[in-house]
Amino acid sequence: MASAPGAALPWAAPARAACQAAEAEEEPKPLAIEAVGLAIGGRIEVCWNVEPAEGEPYSKWWGARVLRQAAAAAAAAEPDAPAGPSYVIVYDTDEGFDAEERTVQLLSRHELLDLEDGDPLHWRREGEEWEPPEEATLQDLVQSLPDDASLCAAEAEALSEMDAATQRRVAAAFREYTDCFKEYIRDKVEAAAAAGEEFVITAGMVAEFKTRHSARMERGPAGGSDL
């Protein structure tokens, strides 16, 4: 979006899509607008983090219209863009900024990829009240966990009602589960650090871990670990 004289573009730091829930085995494939309930001329809103010259950053749903399907050459010019349909959207004039056209790919009903910046962003149809899921940082997670003394007390109380054999099985299963979760989180932290990104835990990650762990339990010890 072309800026007014002396003003900086509002999306100096676009809001990266936080709902990269479970990491897919394959790259997401761009969707046709019909697959997400849109049409040429349809209205959408895209979530940006606005960093004003003065004051605190804030999130804003920026209105836009789907202008046309982009020429194949436009997407092909972006080496990291996944193969699939791309579209030109035009952002509304707002807050002193002129309208601006951008080429995007729709990755899901609430996520798009800006091909010019390479940034995944949240979007919604105009009039929707959908909001991105809140992110939980590792620090938030740690602070929300009970301390060791509380955990030991709760474990002892629960185990005291079981016979010795059951206690051993439950304790072993709990240790295995927590070890797997630590391994999973460690891999995520290392991957985020290697990519130069801040690590956050999302609800999708928890769901992904549960699915993988359940599959591992079904395979049994011989199945190995894919966490």
- Chunk the chain into consecutive blocks of 10 residues (it has 227) and report each block's average pLDDT, rounded to whole numbers: 40 41 57 93 92 83 94 61 87 82 93 88 92 67 62 71 80 81 87 81 82 77 53
Sign of the alpha-carbon dihedral angle for 105, 108, 109, 111 = negative
Residues in Cβ contact with 105 at an 8 Å cutoff, skipping those fewer than 6 apart: 30, 75, 81, 82, 84, 85, 86, 87, 112, 113, 115
* Same-domain pairing of 146 and 104: no
* Same-domain pairing of 212 and 166: yes
* Same-domain pairing of 161 and 119: no
* pLDDT value, residue 50: 80
* pLDDT value, residue 113: 92
* pLDDT value, residue 11: 41
* Same-domain pairing of 60 and 142: no
* pLDDT value, residue 17: 40
In a domain, 188, yes or no: yes
Last-in-domain residue among 93, 125, 157 = 125
In a domain, 130, yes or no: no
In a domain, 131, yes or no: no
148-159 vs 164-194: helix crossing angle, rounded to 10? 150
In a domain, 2, yes or no: no
Long-range contacts of 77-84 (CB under 8 A, 24+ apart): 78/115, 78/116, 78/118, 80/118, 81/105, 81/113, 81/115, 82/27, 82/28, 82/29, 82/30, 82/113, 83/29, 83/30, 84/29, 84/30, 84/31
In a domain, 150, yes or no: yes
* pLDDT value, residue 189: 86
* Same-domain pairing of 41 and 98: yes
* Same-domain pairing of 203 and 171: yes
* Same-domain pairing of 116 and 149: no
* pLDDT value, residue 16: 42
* Same-domain pairing of 108 and 147: no
Task: Give the number of domains in the chain.
Answer: 2
In a domain, 70, yes or no: yes
In a domain, 65, yes or no: yes
* pLDDT value, residue 121: 92
* Same-domain pairing of 170 and 146: yes
Q: How far is CA 179 from CA 107, 136, 184, 196, in A?
A: 34, 21, 9, 26
Domain range for 59 is 33-125
* pLDDT value, residue 26: 54
